[in-house]
Amino acid sequence: MSSRIGQIANHLLKESRAVVFSKHGPINKVTSVTRYPLEGLQPTQVLLKILAAPINPADVNIIEGTYPVKPRFHSFGAIGGNEGVAEIVGVGNQVQDLKLGDWVIPVAASFSTWQTYCIADADKILKLPEHDGVSPVFAATIAVNPPTAYRMLKDFGKLEKGDVVIQNSANSAVGQAVIQLAKAWGYKTVNIVRNRPTIDTLKEQLYSLGADLVITEDDVRKPAIAKEIAALGKAKLGLNGVGGKSATNLARLLADEAYLVTYGGMSKEPVTIPTSLYIFKRLTCCGFWLNKWSTERPREKTDVMLYEIMDLARQGKFKEPFHHTFSLSQDSEQTLVSAVADSFTASGKTIFVP
């Protein structure tokens, strides 16, 4: 039966619409939208309908050629996107443990999620557990940013309930995940964001997720803010997704023997730490990259982490990121390319949907 269903689905779906790039370079010059024919479904493969696929900073860096992951180029270009959630709509006759209607996420790098449909090897995807009460947007964004937040909170600083985590880029998808996981696990968060005309609205959004304190980059060096942070508890962990002066100012707020973990560099400026923080506060600075963590550990560890995050979502303790959507099947090429180009400056996560 599964083979017959796979054949029917493959017959009906002749092509996929995708956001592609012809080579590495500036988004607006190398990115376009194309349709390409789907190949025949092999016995160990599944046919996927993409339900939602985000645009992450790493995706943009891959197009620009500045990220250490190599895309797969086809005759029509390389399809963008590494993260997303899909529904199985066709199953090869040798595929086990997967069935029609299952939701799955990629476990391979450069999976190419910015498309309407795709064919994938069954061993390159992970079946999500029961997804009732979990939105496609949440499921699509579960594999990169929440695990990054999860691992940094678990693996650095030996946090205990009541300890304080200070982070910049707090309104990013990682930042939102940090706030919610910290709240669930009993940690407090100080959240630094850039000032903007809508700062009051942004603060309300972050407080609604469970933030304990939200401040702007302009507030960080104020003595009164330092006292307020100290009153919250011991700041044992700092999370840096920006670099430059933002990272320096964050580091100054950390307690003795704290950890500063860098996972991103949105400012494209180097992380500069005063010598005094190393000597007198014995600050430890290190980096974190989820891809590296994942490749060095059994897949089962990733599965357990994702299932725990899904469970928090079902309990209402973990919400989908602030976002806006664009339709891969309906929106124009100009609209879709602009969505990629503008994703760095968008007010929330940009998500491609069918």
Contact 82, 59 (CB under 8 A): yes
Closest CA to 155 of 317, 296, 277, 58: 296
CA distance 72 to 347: 30
Torsion of CA 181, 237, 186, 127, to 10 degrees: 20
Q: Give the DSSP H/E element, type plus range, for residue 216.
A: strand 213-216
Quick check: 85 and 140 in contact, CB under 8 A? yes
Q: Which of the 8 DSSP states describes residue 123?
A: G
- Cα distance between the two ends of the chain: 27
- Distance between CA atoms of 277 and 194, rounded to whole angstroms? 24
Helix (H, G, I), strand (E, B) or coil at 327: strand
- Residues with catalytic function: 67
Query: What is the C-alpha separation between 55 and 65, in angstroms, rounded?
Result: 16
